[in-house]
Amino acid sequence: MGYSSALATFFVSLVIVVFINEIDGKPLVPAFFIFGDSSFDVGNNNNLPTTIKANFPPYGRDFMNHIPTGRFCNGKLTIDFASEFLGFISYQPAYLNLYIKGKNLLNGANFASSGSGYHESTAKLYKSISLNQQLEFYKDSQNELMKIAGRSDALSIIFGAVYLVGAGTGDFLLNYYMNPLLYNVYTPDQFSDIVVGCYANFIQNLYALGARKIVVTTLTAIGCLPATITLFGPAHSNKCVVKINNVAINFNRKLNSTSVNLRKVLPRLNLVLLDIYQPLYNLVTEPSKYGFSEARNSCFGTNLLERTSIFRDKNVIVRLCANASNYVFWDDLHPTEAANKYFADKLILEGISVIH
């Protein structure tokens, strides 16, 4: 079958899946569970003793009711668009924000924590929730599901759910390049090996808890983030930092080969790896082609320390753009809702096979 025929078949299948979902009114999968860092965090950090929070304005400016929920964005994250596509009428809640769990977990939950990463030390540095601790919370949620749905239905939810995992940016930008205990001991390539090993362990542990449909995002073009360009690029540069992008490319190669091996050794594992490196690189290098006018400066802030809420005092008044949809970046590390929508459209097409 030629490429065009295969692509046409794929889109027909996609339309059929969405059409069936709209007719019966049920989500495409019984639940959606999310693990990772600030790209996916919807408020788990709100009540933690960490400086990495987004539960204050102008975060959430363009979200429902203009409320800052803890999302590092002006509006929706990629996972919000993914949840909508899967047919859920409400977003998966931040697990730590649930005062009453029970039925609130029937459609899944979000365990992601800003400042986290595959490497345990990343979360420790910022007092965030490590990926291992996120797994412990997931175990707790399984017990809650057993109580509310019964063992048989709970197992059906667990085995049929989609699990999304996204981390790695914090391991490199917030940990390795900021931590002399790592930077002076390991080369980027050596540290990549360590992080990929942590990734493999996480997937195996998640699999052991019943996950069979797992979607993993690659490391994005971290050399193109405004914070990276400011910290590691030449003075007044608008270009991506090539050496750091190369670290991401190398890491993603290892992530891919490791994922291939995991599929071989874990029976019935449907593991899909989604490339988020190229989509961001495309937006940054050719923003006008995709409907954006600004890809170097973020929507709000006056300098790196103020635009990145990891360091910013929430009471500091900063510059705020009028229309975030023209910008690729909301702050110096995170995309706008408009960029997230672009990413989601790309990733949904790549990840649709996991729901079958």
- What is the arrangement of strands in the sheet containing 32-36, beginning at the earlier edge strand? 108-110, 32-36, 162-166, 213-217, 270-274
At residue 304, the 3 state secondary structure works out as: helix
Per-residue b or e along 10-30, where b marks 16 or more CB atoms closer than 10 Å to that residue's CB: eeeeeeebeeebeeeeebbbb
236 has catalytic annotation:
no
Task: Tell me if 163 sits within 8 A of 36, measured CB to CB.
Answer: no
Q: Point out the catalytic residue in the list 80, 119, 298, 334.
A: 334
- What lies within 8 Å, CB to CB, of 65 at 6+ separation is none
113 has catalytic annotation:
no
Would you state the torsion angle of the CA atoms of residues 248, 250, 251, 254, taken in this order, to the nearest 10 degrees?
A: 160
Q: Point out the catalytic residue in the list 37, 38, 114, 141.
A: 38
38 has catalytic annotation:
yes
Identify the residue whose tokens are 């412990």.
136
Burial of 331 (0-12, 13-18, 19+ CB in 10 A): buried
Q: Return d(Cα 61, Cα 322) in angstroms, integer.
A: 11
Q: Point out the catalytic residue in the list 41, 80, 171, 331.
A: 331
Q: State the amino acid at position 30 in one-letter form.
A: P
Active-site residues: which are they?
A: 38, 331, 334
